[in-house]
Structure 1
């Protein structure tokens, strides 16, 4: 009788595994090389536009990795800086910041949040975070900025500041020059910041995404 129960249990486990395999979606792995990074990810075999499974973005000096579930980011995603150190972790299933490297960060989580038809200073769970972090953003600026000829001739230097509105979906929807330098520098800063891919983790308040502003400083110097 004991042998019979053992056999029955073994068969039940086998049939259960087969049933799970039949319901699991079939996927295929893909790799793509883009302007500033490579992608390694999986998609549904019958619907290649739907990401499902492991997802890795690898840049020259940054990396992020996580998981997609039927086209949506899920679980904990990890972001690494140019030295390969963990910079940030965010749980997309719970909509919460898990870890942030704030050793050199003197800013609090009080930012401009859009609520009741206007922007107000508000404490948030996490500020908007660019997918790839500051390393990726700085590399993008350095690669694309063209110092205006007028500024070079006049030897104009300084820092322009661009405000970016990040909506609940993690997309940049509006841009504004907040601090000017002159000689076309702020216009150049605005042009390059507008080119950033729409890949942001939005700000969260009580676990819900909100529209908020961040401010990107762009420094120009002549050497």
Structure 2
């Protein structure tokens, strides 16, 4: 059986295999990014790419790693986020700039592809979507993790494990000139398919 994980992020559809070893089967990061490194660290302005459903490569972000600043981002379809619009006041709004993972959907999906379908869940034929909701604060740090959609204990634990190891390289959402805290959903699909 092949185990799959499908992500729909920033309006781009990305299909990933999610079986052991996940990293060997995940898309190569070079396909999603281009830039210079010095002593193993990203320096200067990097371009990050995504692929449309027709397979066209597009620049989704330019990020200056020297200044830790987003230089360009490709507009994404209308999306609302549960947002802290004032201290302690949360509601669903469309920010002027959505929260973004540095590198875009392709790099985020690379990290999410570390998902391993638990053997116990496969034996019990457990399938479905687990959603881990994270809170991204005004500095782009992840401030909390919680399960908002569950499938079963082993799948839920695996989705939470992967969510926690994703690098905390987020650009915060903005309304006007102010960064705002938002909740962001990371969907993990567990599905069994026969060859």
Quickly name the TM-score band, shorter chain normalised: 0.5 to 0.7
Query: Which one of 100, 104, 113 corresponds to residue 133 of structure 1?
Result: 104
Contact 2:61 2:103 in 1 (8 A): no
Aligned position for 1:85: 58
Aligned position for 2:92: 121
Larger helix fraction of residues: 1
Query: How far does residue 90 in structure 1 lie from its aligned partner after superposition?
Result: 6.7
Distance 1:180 1:186 in 2: 6
> Which aligned runs of 4 or more in structure 1 are off by greater than 2 angstroms?
58-61, 76-79, 81-85, 88-93, 95-99
Distance 1:175 1:98 in 2: 28
Query: How far does residue 79 in structure 1 lie from its aligned partner after superposition?
Result: 2.5
Q: TM-score, normalised by structure 1?
A: 0.59
Contact 1:113 1:119 in 2 (8 A): yes
Alignment of 1:182-197 (within 5 A): 182-197=152-167
Aligned position for 1:55: none
Query: How far does residue 192 in structure 1 lie from its aligned partner after superposition?
Result: 0.2
SS in structure 2 of the partner of residue 160 of structure 1: strand
Query: How far does residue 64 in structure 1 lie from its aligned partner after superposition?
Result: 5.7
Query: How far does residue 139 in structure 1 lie from its aligned partner after superposition?
Result: 1.5
Unaligned runs of 5+ in 1: 1-35, 37-57, 67-72
Q: Is the aligned partner of 1:217 residue 2:187?
A: yes
Query: How far does residue 218 in structure 1 lie from its aligned partner after superposition?
Result: 0.7
Alignment of 1:48-87 (within 5 A): 59-63=29-33, 78-81=47-50, 84-87=57-60
Q: Is the aligned partner of 1:159 residue 2:129?
A: yes
Distance 1:77 1:125 in 2: 23
Larger Rg: 1
Distance 2:73 2:104 in 1: 13
Q: Deviations over 1:161-193 (max 9, x none)?
A: 111111111111211111111142122111101
Higher relative contact order (CA 8 A, sep 6+): 2
SS in structure 2 of the partner of residue 79 of structure 1: strand
Unaligned runs of 5+ in 2: 1-22, 37-42
Q: Deviations over 1:29-58 (max 9, x none)?
A: xxxxxxx8xxxxxxxxxxxxxxxxxxxxx9
Query: How far does residue 96 in structure 1 lie from its aligned partner after superposition?
Result: 7.8
Q: TM-score, normalised by structure 2?
A: 0.67
125 and 64 in structure 1: CA distance in 2 versus 1, 3 angstrom threshold? farther
